Amino acid sequence: MTPTSRTLTVAATALTIAAASLTAVAQQAPKPEQLIKWRQSAYQVVAWNTGRIKASLDGSYNKDEVVKAANTIVAIANTGLGALFPPGTEQGRGWHDTAVKPELFQDGRKVGEYAANFSREATELAKVAAVGDPAAVKDQYAKLTRTCKSCHDDFRAKD
């Protein structure tokens, strides 16, 4: 094999590997509708669990129930939901048409701030839930839901 043909062979092999890698990535990358389904699902799970805490606060307080719910919310708050909002998912249908406003994809600083607030208050709620004082849980629950509302107000279209 001449040096030139050897170089070409190596280059061709590298290209083949690169093409195979790109194919693998393309196969693995979830489609926008899948990502939108996942993010809609994640917020539904948050809604289920905030509802469990509210039911406990409004009715007979159940510490175990509140702890489980708070632990679920904090896990989702800290899981990195931002990965479910990549470019290309500004519009589209998951379980239903996305309700996200275009502004979410444009104001990364504010989105980051809101996400940090959600994470911080959810983390605090899980701590307070573990202690189990209903009055403290009620206060912290209110702080958490305010972080939901601020983000919904700015970045979620009205129903």
Distance (Å, whole) CA 44 – CA 63 = 22
Piece of 3-11, 36-44, 99-107, 117-125 that binds a copy of itself (CB under 8 A): 36-44
Contact 129, 137 (CB under 8 A): yes
Least distance from C-beta 9 to a copy of itself, angstroms?
26
Does the footprint of a copy of itself cover residue 62 (CB under 8 A)? no
Burial class (CB in 10 A: 0-12, 13-18, 19+), 128: buried
Site size with a copy of itself, rule: CB under 8 A: 30
| 33 forms part of the interface with a copy of itself (CB under 8 A) | no
Torsion of CA 139, 75, 60, 134, to 10 degrees: -30
Piece of 41-49, 104-112, 140-148, 150-158 that binds a copy of itself (CB under 8 A): 41-49
Phi, psi of 55 (to 5 degrees): -60, -40
Positions that interact with a copy of itself (CB under 8 A): 24, 28, 30, 37-38, 40-42, 44-45, 47-49, 51, 55, 58-59, 65, 68-69, 71-72, 74-76, 78-80, 84, 95
